Amino acid sequence: MHMNGPVMVDLAGLDLQPDEAVRLRHPLVGGLILFARNYADPDQLHALVQSVRAVRPDIIIAVDHEGGRVQRFREGFTRVPPASMLGDIYADDPQQGVRLARDWAWLLASELRAFDIDLTFAPVLDLGGPLSRVIGDRALHTEPEAISVLGQAWMEGMRDAGMAAVGKHVPGHGSVVEDSHVAFPLDQRPLSEIEALDLLPFRRLIDAGLPAVMMAHVIYPKIDSLPAGFSSVWVEEILRQRYGFDGVVFTDDLSMAAATTVADPVERARMALQAGCDMLLVCNRPEDAEAVLAGLGDVHDPSRSARLAAMRATTPVSLAQLRASPRFQQTAATMAACV
Catalytic residues: 181, 252
CB within 8 A of 92, min separation 6: which ones? Answer: none
Query: Strand 119-120 relative to strand 70-71: parallel, antiparallel, unpaired?
Result: unpaired
Identify whether the C-beta of residue 106 lies closer than 8 Å to the C-beta of residue 327.
yes
User: Phi and psi for 3 in degrees, rounded to 5?
Assistant: -75, 140
Residue closest to 97 by CA, chosen among 225, 105, 328: 105
Residue closest to 104 by CA, chosen among 67, 152, 139: 67
- How far is the C-alpha of 78 from the C-alpha of 99, rounded, in Å? 18
User: Phi and psi for 274 in degrees, rounded to 5?
Assistant: -65, -30
Q: What is the DSSP letter of 80?
A: P
Paired residues of 248 in beta bridges: 212
For residue 336, the tally of other CB atoms under 10 A from its CB is 11
CB within 8 A of 285, min separation 6: which ones? Answer: 255, 265
